[in-house]
Amino acid sequence: MPTIASRMLEDIRPGDGATARRTVRAADLKAWAAAFGDAGLLAGAGETQAAAGFAASLFAALVGSALPGPGAAIRSSTVTLAAALPVDVPLTVALSVREVRAADRTVLLDGRLSAPDGTVVATAAITVATPAVAVKVDVPEHGLDGLLDRCRGLDPMPTAVVHPLSLDAVAGALDAAAAGLILPVLYGPEAEIRRIAEAGGLDLAGARIVATAGEEESAAKAAAAAGAGEVHALMKGSLHTDVLLHAVVQKEAGLRNGRLLSHCALMSVPTYARRVVVTDVALNIAPDTDQKRDICQNAIGFAKALGVETPKVAVLAAVEMVRTKMAATLDGAILAKMADRRQIVGGIVDGPLDLDAAVDAEAARVKHIVSPVAGAADVLVVPNIEAGNMVYKNLAFMSDAETAGLVVGARVPVMLTSRADSAAARRFSAAAAVLYADALRRDPEAIQPTTAD
pLDDT tens digits along 198-207: 999 999 988 9
- Those residues with Cβ within 8 angstroms of residue 97's Cβ, 6 or more apart along the chain or in another chain: 12, 13, 14, 15, 16, 17, 67, 107, 108, 109
Q: For residue 44, what pLDDT is reported?
A: 47
Torsion of the alpha carbons at 420, 425, 430 and 433, rounded to the nearest 10: -100
Check residue 196 and give its pLDDT: 94
Mean pLDDT across the chain: 90
Q: How many helices (H) and strands (E) does the chain have?
A: 14, 18
pLDDT at 91 over 50: yes
Is it the case that residue 167 has pLDDT exceeding 80? yes
More confident residue, 104 or 37: 104
Q: Out of 26-35, 103-112, 192-201, 327-336, pick the least confident.
A: 26-35
The CA-atom distances, in angstroms, between 176 and each of 48, 157, 179, 205, 253 are: 32, 10, 5, 14, 25
Strand segments (E) across 167-272: 182-188, 208-211, 233-236, 262-268
Mean pLDDT of 186-203: 94
Please report the pLDDT score of residue 1 as a whole number. 60
Output the pLDDT for position 29: 72
Q: What is the DSSP letter of 284?
A: -
User: Tell me, what's the pLDDT at 49?
Assistant: 61
Tell me which amino acid residue 399 is.
S
Distance CA 364, CA 374 (A): 6
Q: What pLDDT, on the 0 to 100 scale, is given for residue 51?
A: 75
pLDDT at 42: 46
Domains of the chain plus CATH, in order, are 3-139 (3.10.129.10), 262-409 (3.40.718.10)
Within its chain, how far is the Cα of 291 from the centroid?
Answer: 24
Out of 181-190, 364-373, 395-404, pick the least confident: 395-404
Report the predicted TM-score, pTM, of the whole model to 2 decimal places.
Answer: 0.83
Average pLDDT over residues 422-431: 86
pLDDT of residue 327: 95
How many Å apart are CA 159 and CA 403, to the nearest integer? 20
Count CA atoms within 13 Å of residue 372 on its CB side. Answer: 9
State the angle between helix axes of 289-305 and 327-340 in degrees (0 to 180), rounded to the nearest 10. 60
Q: Which amino acid is at 339?
A: A
Confidence (pLDDT) at 135: 84
What share of residues in the chain are helix, strand, coil (percent, to 5)? 35, 25, 40
Give SS3 for 96. strand
In the predicted model, what is the mean pLDDT of residues 117-144?
A: 87
Helix 289-305 / helix 423-442 crossing angle, nearest 10 deg: 90
**Residues 26-75: tens digit of each pLDDT:** 777 777 766 666 554 444 444 456 677 888 989 999 999 899 999 999 99
CA distance 136 to 7: 10
242-291 tens-digit pLDDT: 999 999 999 999 999 888 999 999 999 888 888 999 999 999 999 999 99
